[in-house]
């Protein structure tokens, strides 16, 4: 947003610069990543769905599938009535193959692997990251960017100079697509609630910046249901009071709002006015730390692979020391073409901080893939211990044991900043109840990382 939009008053937190990153149709995007032929096709990902069956529910639908009326949380049987499977349409003369789509079952472990790639970018881009689900997160980038300024390339920003926020956000989107293979929409604003709305404003592949002084005018024309903590019941009640938009709610008599909805009503009225004092705070300690890096082209060069693992191991070891983390498990991730994810890990007898052990273990695990074409490599430590104690090393341990007899763990790869926490609104202390906006399924149909911990 741009222009002179300050007529409705200043915002409460003009100094904060917050980003909300929201992946576009994340489950569908992941399926397309490993099956490129699905790009541009109507695609439905079903929870509890199996190939050729009719049971289950829609977890997410691509934008192409939504054009046929398929929606999140819809029964697969109903979705099939609106959008038949391609394979069946090709065999049935009464069906038009051009009005049919593809169906895939949910694969949470795979989606989590892709989410790990996204999270690695986010944690590298910002010191303060709050993950709220598998496909969205908030970033506080106040110390890294500035409001205003022209959107310029990274090369045009001098060393040590803060980036204009739009340049930063655009670069963040480009990095996510380049390193994780999926597309994100990003909203930037001085408040968490406005940033979240901004990320949804121009989907897919959107980038919307709402600067201080613009927030109330940005929110004013939006449907009241889009305001933070306004669920379907409250939205209906507000409309019955003649309050249709955020601007209507912002201008409403506070006593009328209090009488109808109590203190919670006053809280959502403040959100509609652009007043949101919440700060982006990480939730809990990270459960693992990792670094990943892709080759420009897949390679089977053993020394190139080992060099990359050494560099990644050094980065992970440095971060673990910086955060005061000891680790009990060392693992690697190896991505082979087209996008097959392989994880291996070894467990240690106790928590350590030992960069040499980290490097040697990662290289030992890599040996299994010596002859493989490799697209991307990652190094990870997990089962972290943040207790205040002297740092431990390999000395003092007699040996190490693998996660399974052959050194392969069946655990999914968990990476930077994975948190176990309550949902966003509960953690923030909002009076949520029905009115968190989650009374109906999330439009993207995603589950949070910690839901299937």
Alpha carbons within 13 angstroms on the beta-carbon side of residue 272 total: 31
350 touches 357 (CB < 8 A) = no
Residue 346 catalytic?
Answer: no
105: nearest Cα among 197, 7, 27, 198? 27
Q: Are strands 18-23 and 184-189 parallel, antiparallel or unpaired?
A: antiparallel
Q: Which listed residue (64, 136, 424, 435) is catalytic?
A: 136
Q: Is 135 flagged in the annotation as binding?
A: yes
Q: Is 217 flagged in the annotation as binding?
A: no
Residues at the annotated binding site for Mg(2+)? 22, 135
Which active-site residues does the annotation give?
136
Residues at the annotated binding site? 22, 135
């Amino acid at each position: 947003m741009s222009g002179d939009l300050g007529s409705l008053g200043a915002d409460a937190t003009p100094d904060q610069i917050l980003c909300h990153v929201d992946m576009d149709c994340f489950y569908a995007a992941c399926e397309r990543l490993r099956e490129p032929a699905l790009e541009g096709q109507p695609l439905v990902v079903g929870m509890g769905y199996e190939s050729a069956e009719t049971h289950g529910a829609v977890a997410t639908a691509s934008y192409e599938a939504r054009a046929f009326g398929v929606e999140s949380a819809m029964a697969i049987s109903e979705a099939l009535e609106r959008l038949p499977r391609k394979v069946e349409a090709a065999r049935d003369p009464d069906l038009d193959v051009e009005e049919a789509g593809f169906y895939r079952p949910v694969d949470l472990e795979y989606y989590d692997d892709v989410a790990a790639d996204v999270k690695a970018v986010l944690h590298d881009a910002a010191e303060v990251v709050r993950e709220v689900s598998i496909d969205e997160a908030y970033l506080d980038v106040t110390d890294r960017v500035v409001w205003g300024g022209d959107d310029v390339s990274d090369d045009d920003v001098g060393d040590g100079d803060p980036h204009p926020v739009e340049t930063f956000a655009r670069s963040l989107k480009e990095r996510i697509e380049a390193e994780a293979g999926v597309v994100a929409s990003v909203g930037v604003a001085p408040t968490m609630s406005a940033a979240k709305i901004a990320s949804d404003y121009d989907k897919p592949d959107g980038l919307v910046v709402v600067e201080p002084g613009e927030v109330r005018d940005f929110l004013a024309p939006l449907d009241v249901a889009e305001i933070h903590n306004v669920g379907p019941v409250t939205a209906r009640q507000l409309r019955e009071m003649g309050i249709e938009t955020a601007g209507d709610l912002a201008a409403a008599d506070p006593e009328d709002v209090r009488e109808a909805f109590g203190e919670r009503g006053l809280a959502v009225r403040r959100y509609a006015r652009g007043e949101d004092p919440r700060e982006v705070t990480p939730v809990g300690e990270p459960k693992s730390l990792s670094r990943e890096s892709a080759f420009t082209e897949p390679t089977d060069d053993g020394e190139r692979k080992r060099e990359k693992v050494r560099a990644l191991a050094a980065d992970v070891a440095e971060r673990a020391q910086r955060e005061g983390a000891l680790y009990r498990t060392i693992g690697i991730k190896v991505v082979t073409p087209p996008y097959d994810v392989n994880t291996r890990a070894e467990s240690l007898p106790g928590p350590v901080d030992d960069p040499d052990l980290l490097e040697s273990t990662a290289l030992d695990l890599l040996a299994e893939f010596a002859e493989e074409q490799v697209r991307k490599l990652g190094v990870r430590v997990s089962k972290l211990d943040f207790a205040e104690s002297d740092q431990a090393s390999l000395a003092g341990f007699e040996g190490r044991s693998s996660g399974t007899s052959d050194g392969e763990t069946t655990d999914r790869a968990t990476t930077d900043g994975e948190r176990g926490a309550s949902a966003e609104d509960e953690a923030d202390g909002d009076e949520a109840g029905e009115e968190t906006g989650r009374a109906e399924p999330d439009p993207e149909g995603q589950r949070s990382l910690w839901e299937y911990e």
